[in-house]
Amino acid sequence: MKKRFLLLCMLPVTSLAAGFDQSSWGKFEHDFEEKPWVEMAAQLPLAPKAENLLPFYVSATTDNRFFIDSASVTLGEDKVVRYTLVIESATGANNISYEGMRCSSGEFKRYAFGRNDGSWSKARNTKWEQISYKDVNRHHHMLQDDFFCPNGTAVTSREEAIKTLKAGARLSAGGTAW
């Protein structure tokens, strides 16, 4: 009885294996292979306006203030979060840069720097740089962990990034997130 049962169980497996086309296995693997990452071309935004600046907290060890221009935030098909960063020194001087952040690799890149007349100057070093924790001016680390890459993955939309930045601004001002 056991031999017949075993034989009956093996029959469907052997008939499936006999009819399996080996050439389709290559297509199956190809469909699930990881595709090489390709960066999209960045489009420079308009110069930031004061009413669009969202502050975010970085550290008690810096006198600088940090802002993201909400009008510039995008999430590309390449999963890069692009944004304009404004850093205001204690004396009122502003440093403006248009940047991108790759959450999957923990990197950021500067595309351009803002000029006083509202135009952009292309960054000399346009290579992706690893985001590392720093005691002072750790703004990229904060943007990565708290706003653009929660749990190591990119936000799902521009709206999610802005909502998170706005919630962070309320928290740093002593309010509540929700």
Q: Domains (ranges, CATH) in the chain?
A: 50-172 (2.40.128)
Can you give the pLDDT at residue 50? Answer: 95
Give residue 31's pLDDT: 60
Region 120-148 average pLDDT = 89
Nearest residue to 144 (alpha-carbon basis) of 154, 157, 134? 154
Q: What is the pLDDT of residue 150?
A: 86
Q: What is the mean pLDDT of residues 152-158?
A: 90
Q: Is the pLDDT of residue 94 over 90?
A: yes
Minimum mean pLDDT among 15-19, 49-53, 84-88: which range?
Answer: 15-19
Residue 103 has what pLDDT?
A: 93
Q: What would the mean pLDDT of 96-103 be, rounded to a whole number?
A: 96
Strands 107-114 and 129-130: antiparallel
For residues 83-112, give the mean pLDDT: 95
Taking the C-alpha atoms of residue 80 and residue 78, their distance in angstroms, rounded to an integer, is 6
Mean pLDDT, rounded, of the chain: 82
Strands 107-114 and 94-102: antiparallel
Cβ neighbors of 172 (< 8 A, separation 6 or more) are 55, 56, 57
Residue 40 in 3-state DSSP?
A: coil
Q: What are the φ/ψ torsions at residue 88 (nearest 5 degrees)?
A: -105, 125
14-37 pLDDT tens trace: 444 555 555 555 555 556 677 788
